Every structure is written in C-alpha cells, then in structure tokens.
Amino acid sequence: MTIIVTGAAGFIGSNLVKALNERGETRIIAVDNLAKAEKFHNLVDCEIHDYLDKHAFVERFVRGDFGSVRAVFHQGACSDTMEGDGRYMMENNYTYSRAVLEACLTQGAQFLYASSAAVYGGSSVFVEDRKHEGPLNVYGYSKFLFDQVVRRALPTARSQIAGFRYFNVYGPREAHKGRMASVAFHNFNEFRANGKVKLFGEYNGYGPGEQTRDFVSVEDVAKVALDFFEHPERSGIYNLGSGRAQPFNDIAVTVVNTLRELSGEHPMSLQDMVSQGVLEYIRFPDALRGKYQCFTQADVSRLRAAGYEAPFLSVQEGVGRYVRWLMEQGR
C-alpha cells in the first residue's frame, strides 16, 4: 500500500521518509513545493516511489488517483512563525490541511499530522485542552484552528487521526530553514565561523540565555510518528516534546563542548564561556516582544497514556549527536 508524506523535502518530512525507508517502506509518494530548490538535498539518500508538487497533489488524491493509500503523514506547512501574510498562512496551514484530512476520511487512510506547541501561546500550562490554548501569532492560530476541526471530526472518524504538537525540534536535515532553523544549528555555525555563539539577553524576568524551552530531537519525533503509524487504533491530539524544559544556555554549552571534544580540547563551564567571550548575550529583539514563548514544557501524560513508552533524548544527548552528524556531513 502507498504511503504519502507531504512536506517530504522539509525538515521533519524528510526525516520521516528516511525512517520509513529504514523500516523497509519505499512505496512513498513525496509531496512538496521545491520553489526553494535546495530542499531536494534532504531526499537524495531516501527511496521514494514518486514526487508530486503540492499544488497538483490534493486534486489527484481526492480523485483517488493513488489507489489504496495506507497513511498520509501531513507535514507540509508554512512554519515561519514571523510570516506576516495571514492569507498565505491560512491557505497553507488550514485550508490545505482540511482538504487532505477530508480526503483521508473519505478513503479510510490514516492521517498523522503536524500541529505545534505555538497553539499554547503565552500559557504556562501545556496540556491538550482548549482552555490552555491562546496563540500569539498567525502561525499558531493556523495550527490552533485546524486542531479544532480535528476535534470535531474525531468522534465520528472511522480511520486514524493523530496530531502532534511539536515543541522545539532540532536535528538533521534542517539547513534549508535558514533563520527558522534551530538554535543548535545556528550555534554550531556561529562557533565554527567566529569562535563564539550568541543568545538573547534578559527578557520578561528570565536571565541571559535562561529562556527555557522543551527541546526535542527530530529522531524522537520520527519515532513517535512511526509508533502511531503501527498502531492505527490510536487517535487524538498529543504533545510531542521531551517532557523536560532546558535553557538555551544548555544548547550553547553542549554545541561548544561537543566541538571542543572533537578537536581534542577540554570542556568549558558556562561561566568560563561567558567570561572568555565564547558565549555572548545580545539585546532581546523588539520584533519578538509580546510574541515570544519564554517557557515551554510538554505535558506528555496523554502521549504516555496512549502507549508510547520510549525515553526521549536530553539536550546533552540529542544536540551532542546532532553536532557529530553535522561534522560528518562536512558542514
């Protein structure tokens, strides 16, 4: 049976294609928009059956052109949280997603899709419940509104609908994201280019570099998605984070010390990095004030209750592995 991955050349989509390949799945239709052509690099080492542009895909899927489809991993979206064109955002993340969902329900295909922790906005409670949701930007709103469509569909759906609210995902195959790539990726490139890294300074009661997020490796994101793929009886909306909150300082320290280790140098403490100018704090950007989540931590109780039992990588484990991967790629 056919598997479809939208956003297949993107960050999480390409990691899902690779993970599916590692399970022996190669009858995969990759759907994406290669207007940013460099994304094709993410699929070079993957095996796919066919490729379709996102604009041609939905009409053909609705018509049933692809025969028996087992599952759609819907990762395609505009993920730029700074995008100011609300019409563009809603067309990509809401209207398009509704069309894919409706086709899956009609054909009985599993539908596993990307939501976002951005739906929680400035909330300090990260539980999958409407009362804790209040997005701060149109990206978060587009994800929030689609989640409401899913909630209405779940009671009568006869095939799997599983949504995953991604927290701060980092890892291989994100280079094309530019400024929207993870802090780990930017810290890696900054340190190699300049011998130092930069983080935001004090903001909203948090000290320099102490804004705290739930950082989750894309390795774990793929593992969760494929675990649900193998259990089509599981439906619902789930947080997908590590379940632990760590400061941005931990990212910087791990990146620097992993690179130092690979160069045969001793690790440095956070205090030494700051005093020696290896870690520099910059003024918090005015453009992000009032639109920035200073703290996130996924409540993974619902995910665990659904049957997902594997541990999640910590920043020290996951970012260390990511830095080594980047070095192996010759970045």
Which of 96, 113, 139, 170 does the annotation list as catalytic? 139
- Nearest to residue 316, comparing CAs of 247, 264, 263, 265? 247
Q: Active-site residue 177, yes or no?
A: yes
Q: Active-site residue 238, yes or no?
A: no
- Nearest to residue 270, comparing CAs of 254, 259, 294, 258? 254
Q: Count other Cβ atoms within 10 Å, centred on residue 305.
A: 10
Which of 18, 51, 88, 177 does the annotation list as catalytic? 177
Distance CA 164, CA 304 (A): 13
Distance CA 60, CA 94 (A): 19
The dihedral of CA 216, 217, 218, 224: what is its sign? negative
| CA 286 to chain centroid | 25
Residue 2 in tokens: 């056919």
Question: Which residues are designated catalytic?
Answer: 139, 177
